[in-house]
Amino acid sequence: MTEKKKNLPDEHGHFGQFGGNFASETLFHCLEELKAAYARLKTDPEFQREFQQDLADFVGRPSPLYWAERLSKQQKGAQIWLKREDLNHTGAHKINNTVGQILLAKAMGKKRIIAETGAGQHGVATATVAARMGLECVVYMGSVDSKRQAINVYRMKLLGAEVRAVESGSKTLKDALNEAMRDWVAHVDDTFYIIGTVAGPAPYPEMVRDFNAVIGQEVRKQSVEKIGRFPDALVACVGGGSNAMGLFYPFIEDKQVKMFGVEAGGKGIESGQHAASINAGKVGVLHGNRTYVMSDAFGQVLETHSISAGLDYPGVGPEHAYLNDTGRAKYVIINDAEALAAFHELTEKEGIMPALESAHAVAYGLKLAKTMSPKQHIVINLSGRGDKDVHTIAELEGVTV
């Protein structure tokens, strides 16, 4: 069952009606430059050798595929496996992509790095690789997220990055991305923008997906070794969707493997305070690509809400929109309370503290397992660790730390 490349975007970066390049004309040249550089380097043996070497020696890959034995027995259903991206250097899947993009920046001769971040994990990963390469780094972060992820802000500063708090709009991830785009327009000659998710103008959705596809590639091998075959289902949280796309992509042609993307239901779809772009949004253009967007009747982008900063985004990667519309993947909703309960469940039953983003995937994985046979297997992508969320959870539960 070899992976096929049927789902690559076309030459204009489209996945069906989604994707494309709707960025400012000012960015057209640097996006074309990036597209050409990536097209050349992604098949270059030396670039790939260096990327794989960094994943092994700097990131610490492969990450384990772990059988959550106590959780599995408790659900009395499918066997639950966790893909342990939380064990990567910097504590999340984000480092896979930043390692790849910093190598691109180096190959292109760029001296300055910018990024946006919500939960702070992409910001930390970007600051980490920039420090390693000795490059200037500026990270944009909504002021709301800066407060709820103060530890990650300090980590970025310790790594030598400048963190610019964004006060516009909802002061979250969407607005951080807006400011990063403005910075890039003003500094196109020397700056490389490391986007953290499978969104943005082409070629970013394809490029970020490819760098994160190591997750699914490892699961293909590990599941055969540990289970004897591929899993029956894959589960991952979806904001922009980089961790989910990294898990899903290598399995797209394996139709017997079901795929579930878990969106942030926040306080409930009916409340309007959520971030479920696929389930409750409409097709529109956001941050340089056509996708599902949380917007009103006039096309204005709506404010979103999630207990997890990394899922608090009003759009979704265009390939996820395509997988939804073609029926290859199913996108479901988990609310704040369910994610918080799953955080405690995994922490107490397995001694593994997930990021609140990942806790959404865990919550749905537990539900799904109950509907399946003990002879079936689910892989949940544990996209990050929960250290960064301890203060948020303590505050929500009225605990002083």
- For residue 387, the number of C-alpha atoms closer than 13 Å in the C-beta half-sphere is 11
- Distances 297 to 274, 285, 290, 300, 318 between C-alpha atoms, Å: 17, 14, 17, 7, 21
304: closest CA among 360, 263, 266? 266
Beta strands in 189-342 (DSSP E): 191-193, 233-237, 258-266, 282-286, 289-293, 330-335
Catalytic residues: 94, 116, 383
Q: How far apart are CA 191 and CA 281, in angstroms?
A: 33
Strand partners, 286: 289
| Eight-class DSSP state of 367 | H
Alpha-helix runs per DSSP H in 266-335:
277-280, 318-326
* 284: phi then psi, degrees, rounded to nearest 5: -165, -170
Give the largest CA-CA distance in the chain. 57
Q: Is the dihedral of CA 206, 314, 368, 16 positive or negative?
A: negative
Q: Is 162 helix (H, G, I), strand (E, B) or coil?
A: strand
For Cα atoms 366, 327, 66, give the angle at the middle one, nearest 5 degrees: 30
Q: How far apart are CA 308 and CA 149, in angstroms?
A: 10
Q: How far apart are CA 37 and CA 119, in angstroms?
A: 29
Q: Are 121 and 128 in contact (CB under 8 A)?
A: no
